[in-house]
Amino acid sequence: MKKSSKEWAMICGLLMAELFMVMGAAAGVQEKAEAVEPIPTMSPPEGNTTFIEGRTWCVARPGASQFDLENAIAWACGLGGADCSGVQPGAACYRPDTLLAHASFAFNSYYQQNGNSDVACYFGGTAAITTRDPSYGSCKYLASETSAASRLFEGDYLVKKLLEILVILCLNVRLGKCTRFD
């Protein structure tokens, strides 16, 4: 059955309306996800609690085992290529001289150097992404905007891209630039 251009316009309009509703629902779900109780990430204890929109850091999980943290730091500062000079004796982030503090610095260094994607902040489950700046005193943790690779899987971004594609398709159909398979 062949569809008229009016029918195609109506179908495109309905699809766009449905996509807008999905986008609204995704935004609501995203807000609820942020309301979940965050993982305590105050390492070192003097951590700054300010959040600069779009900036994230990777820190060690307080409940991680000493064995796992030591292995993760060794990998991050070795084969991982993270810049761990900030936690060497005498450096700005050496104190407090704790495994958790040094792991947080090393994990964040690796995370920022590798596009700050979720995958770059795993370390065998010993790390977590936070929106709280862990910098303290003269110790400044690197921070950067969320990468495009990370944003690709955020519901809002993906829905917007799908909407753009749908609008282009609908315009092409309306202008008669599409080949229809009837």
Digit-coded pLDDT (tens) for 78-108: 999 999 999 999 999 999 999 999 999 999 9
What pLDDT was estimated at residue 147? 47
Q: Examine the pLDDT at 137 and tell me if it is beyond 90.
A: yes
Side-chain half-sphere CA neighbours of 154 within 13 A: 18
In contact, 172 and 9? CB cutoff 8 Å: no
What pLDDT was estimated at residue 70? 97
* Total domains, the chain: 2
Q: What domain range includes position 111?
A: 55-146
Reported confidence tier of residue 1, pLDDT bands at 50, 70, 90: low
Domain assignment present for residue 13? The answer is: yes
Domain assignment present for residue 44? The answer is: no
In contact, 125 and 64? CB cutoff 8 Å: yes
In contact, 139 and 13? CB cutoff 8 Å: no
Q: Examine the pLDDT at 172 and tell me if it is beyond 80.
A: no
- Residue 138 amino acid letter: S
Domain assignment present for residue 79? The answer is: yes
Residues 6+ apart with CB under 8 A from 182: 1, 2, 3
